[in-house]
Amino acid sequence: MREPQWKSYTAKIVEPILTPAQCQTLIQLGQAQPKVEGEVLSSENQLNRTQRQNTVSWIPFSMAQEIYGIIYSWMERTNSNFFGFEDIKAVEPGQYAEYSKGDFYDWHIDIPVQMQRMPPVRKISMTLLLNDPKEFKGGNLDIFTGTLDTDHSIYKNINSEIGKLKQGQPIFFASFLLHRVRPILEGKRKSLIMWFGGKPLK
């Protein structure tokens, strides 16, 4: 196994951890599950239709136990080496996400506004690219690791390069970091999203 690269609560595994065949298995499983439009809730518990546009489904743990086991072992190692969060476990099944031309997900964090909807606190988020990056243009994952400008509207030090993934390659990052998926210009982006957590951060 190769070591992840670390920078500011982000850990990108150097090489893919899943084979193309395993990625295709997850794509087929994700496409076979009921699809829904991606949702974002405001602090008033209202749907925000301007922040996100894509489709998602969920892959039960029982359908891909071996693959989930590979991902979980990498999460544990990454957390042990770089994050050091306590009480970490998979809190939700993997989310299969598809982004078609024009789809995007604007700046957000992965800790829900309405925490009562999800008692285990998300501490580590993971994005793993399932299809060949040659199949789409755009759709880069940006992770914000810098500071806001004085007017709190211009983001600086956006870590864009770290979000360029190979097929089967994951990136783990703290769930409290702002991140986004840029609009798809051509083709379709397919990914697996997972969250790991437990008791509140101390």
Which tokens in the block code for residue 1? 């196994």
pLDDT in tens, the chain (202 residues): 455 544 458 999 999 999 999 999 999 999 999 999 877 655 555 556 678 889 999 999 999 999 999 999 999 999 999 898 988 999 899 999 999 999 999 988 898 655 545 557 899 999 999 999 999 999 999 888 665 554 545 555 565 667 789 999 999 999 999 899 999 999 999 999 999 998 876 6
- The answer to whether 10 and 82 have CB atoms below 8 angstroms apart is no
Burial class (CB in 10 A: 0-12, 13-18, 19+), 189: buried
- What the block records as the tokens of 181 is 């998926």
Q: What is the value of pTM for the model shown?
A: 0.85
* 12 belongs to a structural domain: no
User: Could you tell me if residue 33 is inside a domain?
Assistant: yes
Q: In this structure, are residues 140 and 68 in contact, taking their beta carbons and an 8 Å threshold?
A: no
Provide the CA 128 distance to its chain's centre, in angstroms.
7
Cβ atoms of 127 and 108 within 8 Å: the answer is no
Give domain status of residue 10, yes or no. Answer: no
Indicate whether 56 belongs to any domain.
yes
- SS3 state of residue 61: helix
Domain count, the chain: 1
Which range of residues forms the domain containing residue 56?
19-198
**Which CATH number characterizes residue 162's domain?**
2.60.120.620
pLDDT recorded at residue 116: 47
Going by the DSSP 8-state scheme, the letter that residue 93 receives in this structure is P
